[in-house]
Chain A
Amino acid sequence: MAATLEFEKPIQELENKINELRSFSRDKGIDLSNEITTLEKRAMEVRESIYSNLNSWQHVLISRHPERPNTYDYINYIIKDFIELHGDRCFGDDPAVVGGIGRFNSRAVTVIGHLKGKNTKENLARNFGMAHPEGFRKGMRLMKQAEKFKRPVICFIDTPGANPGIGAEERGQFEAIARSILTMAALKTPIITVVIGEGASGGALAFGVGDRILMQEHTIYSVISPEGYASILWKDSSRAREAAEAIRITASDILDLGVADKIIPEPLGGAHRDPKAAADLLGEALADSLDELLELSLEDLMSCRYEKFRTIGNLK
């Protein structure tokens, strides 16, 4: 049972009532199927109405839902025979970043993504999806490897940002992110980036320079977390809701701003309600984008990628 978000309470109340009726009907042997059907219909309507009028902050909450499918889940659903590859060959292996080779619709691909955990224990092990320099350097290594063997690259973005800490700075967090952006800018193979949760700051962009940028319906992408924005600009992190509206971070905002290319629909109530269905929808969108990119010559691929980022903001 997925944890209920605050704005989902009206749905939850209806569902509780339905369950009560069901057990009452079973215990007492009374047929309440008409009442139950009516309530189920009502619950569906309420859910649809809530989910078609989400504000930015509600998108933030869904994008961070603890049970939301993570990079491993999508790999399990849509990548066959995945073999994980570890380490940056310089310092260590960052558990906040997952990478490897697998088969997507019968084609070998390289997959790289941030990895969040689903509970406190997992999150401590994965550092809440906040990468250290060695995580970005592992990603770069696998991208170069993909280029060498002419494999497309699929990146999953799901991070509150790069890790803030002493070790990360000592090992050159700034250089690792910059170098990863450069590696992607020059990589001679198709790259598809999918935001599957929250994407914030340079830690997200380090895997974000794709030929296609796809975002799932309830994800966010931002220069900084709403909390960070509120805390730095207004000295008040409790105004995060306001910040989320002000700087336009939802998938439809990012599409309107010309940064995202496509929004991938999610099952009603968010990807965590039906991870398998969410993965199928994601797989379809990936397949479409990959087909488009594989039609391009290398020269066209590279010039389209340049133009894509060159014209964001429309000043050129």
Chain B
Amino acid sequence: MVLEVFRKQKNVAAQAGSENRDIPEGIWSKCGRCGEILLNKDLIKNHKVCQKCGFHFRLTALERIKMTLDEGSFREMDADLLPVNPFNLSDYANKLIEARNKSGLNEAVVTGAGTINNIPLVIAVMDTNFMMASMGTVVGEKITRAIEAATAERKPLVIFAASGGARMQEGILSLMQLAKTVEALARLSEAGQLYITVMTDPTTGGVSASFAALGDIILAEPEAMIGFTGPRVIEQTIRQKLPEGFQRAEFFKQHGFIDQIIPRNQLKETLATLLEFHLQGVK
């Protein structure tokens, strides 16, 4: 049963150009960490980073694309792939409708081609407004197609990961997306092409344990929550409170799993430099 409400949507590439989509409702936002009341106009100018304490607000996929790619360069792929509900669960059908209304997206990842400082690349950006960017069949499919496109077109790949993990409502089919995406990455890697991961808040579960962990270079945003098992489950299992900063990006950098933590205002520049390094190679 495909959800009837999921009619073919306007391609987000078209929306990425229009200003008003990026301004959240209302004029003010409250910082999730220090509680500072921030003027939305200033917040957006500051890449949605709190001017007072540096807290990085979560971004929508569209905001991220706009912030990262050269203006007007984004061409979305597979925008019309609609979610599936393989076991016809009614709770899940309702959640999908809610997610669509909340995010304005058909699924939890936006993929496509674009340029950064005129260097062509394939990009995938996950959006936590859609069911915490969990990965079911369609998310796995879109990411796999993006990886395959990068391989076929000999372009570098950048994935902005964010996810609560595999989407439980699609059962074993969600688990198999870990294998599907990683198989495609194995081919990309064998072809000698660059893959950069940017882990954003939160990158956990089956997404952290598949394509997100396998970048040639792994970057993260400050304080992003990362890990396989969520902190709540660990606390319930070991029956003790976890230390401050556990499973944050800084923790995993210290333990050797992340190359660099890059504040958002330097991210595009860092990506551009890394992409440039990989333009030349020994033929």
Q: A and B bound? A: yes
Residues of chain A whose beta carbon lies under 8 Å from any beta carbon of chain B: 162, 164-166, 168-175, 177-179, 181-182, 185-186, 201-202, 204-205, 208-209, 221-224, 229, 232-233, 246-249, 253-254, 257, 259, 305-306, 309-310, 312-313, 315-316
Q: Is there contact, CB below 8 Å, between A177 and B171?
A: no
* Min C-beta distance of B164 to chain A, whole Å: 9
Chain B binding surface, main DSSP class: helix
In the bound complex, CA of A248 to CA of B172 (Å): 8
Q: Is there contact, CB below 8 Å, between B172 and A181?
A: no
Q: Is there contact, CB below 8 Å, between B168 and A233?
A: yes
Q: Is there contact, CB below 8 Å, between B180 and A162?
A: no
Q: Which of B5-13, B40-48, B53-61, B224-232 contacts A (4 or more CB under 8 A)?
A: B224-232
Show 9 A/B contacts (Cβ-Cβ < 8 Å), sorted by A.
A165-B238, A174-B208, A175-B257, A181-B179, A182-B182, A202-B209, A247-B87, A310-B183, A313-B177
In the bound complex, CA of A171 to CA of B247 (Å): 11
Q: Which residues of B contact A221 (CB under 8 A)?
A: 172
In the bound complex, CA of A174 to CA of B224 (Å): 15
Q: Which residues of B contact A177 (CB under 8 A)?
A: 209-210, 213, 228
Q: Which residues of A contact B170 (CB under 8 A)?
A: 223
Known contacts: A306-B183, A310-B144, A313-B176. The answer to whether A202 contacts B228 by CB under 8 A is yes
Q: Which residues of A contact B84 (CB under 8 A)?
A: 313, 315
Q: Which residues of B contact A165 (CB under 8 A)?
A: 229, 234, 237-238
Indicate if B149 sits at the interface (CB-CB under 8 A): no
Q: Which residues of B contact A175 (CB under 8 A)?
A: 209, 213, 257
Indicate if B89 sits at the interface (CB-CB under 8 A): yes
Chain A binding surface, main DSSP class: helix
Task: Choose from A164, A229, A247 the contact partner of B229 (Cβ within 8 Å).
Answer: A164
In the bound complex, CA of A208 to CA of B210 (Å): 13
Q: Is there contact, CB below 8 Å, between B179 and A208?
A: yes
User: Contacts A177-B228, A223-B171, A229-B168 given; 12 further ones with Cβ under 8 A?
Assistant: A164-B237, A169-B227, A174-B228, A178-B182, A178-B210, A182-B182, A223-B174, A246-B89, A306-B187, A309-B183, A312-B173, A313-B140
Task: Choose from B141, B190, B233 the contact partner of A313 (Cβ within 8 Å).
Answer: B141
Q: Is there contact, CB below 8 Å, between A185 and B183?
A: yes
Name, among B84, B227, B228, B234, the residue most crowded by chain A CB atoms within 10 Å (CB to CB): B228
Quick one: which of B117-174 are within 8 Å of A by CB? 137-138, 140-141, 144, 166, 168-174
Q: Between A and B, how many residue pairs show CB distances below 8 Å?
A: 164
Q: Is there contact, CB below 8 Å, between B166 and A166?
A: no
Q: Is there contact, CB below 8 Å, between A249 and B171?
A: yes
Quick one: which of B58-96 are within 8 Å of A by CB? 81, 84, 86-87, 89, 91
* Min C-beta distance of B183 to chain A, whole Å: 4
* Min C-beta distance of B259 to chain A, whole Å: 13
In the bound complex, CA of A205 to CA of B257 (Å): 21
* Min C-beta distance of B236 to chain A, whole Å: 9
Indicate if B255 sits at the interface (CB-CB under 8 A): yes
Q: Is there contact, CB below 8 Å, between A309 and B176?
A: yes
Q: Is there contact, CB below 8 Å, between A259 and B176?
A: yes
In the bound complex, CA of A232 to CA of B164 (Å): 12
Known contacts: A257-B173, A310-B180, A310-B183. The answer to whether A174 contacts B227 by CB under 8 A is yes
Known contacts: A247-B169, A248-B87, A309-B176. The answer to whether A169 contacts B214 by CB under 8 A is no
Q: Is there contact, CB below 8 Å, between B228 and A168?
A: yes
In the bound complex, CA of A253 to CA of B229 (Å): 26
* Min C-beta distance of B159 to chain A, whole Å: 13
Quick one: which of B228-253 are within 8 Å of A by CB? 228-229, 233-234, 237-238, 242, 246-247, 252
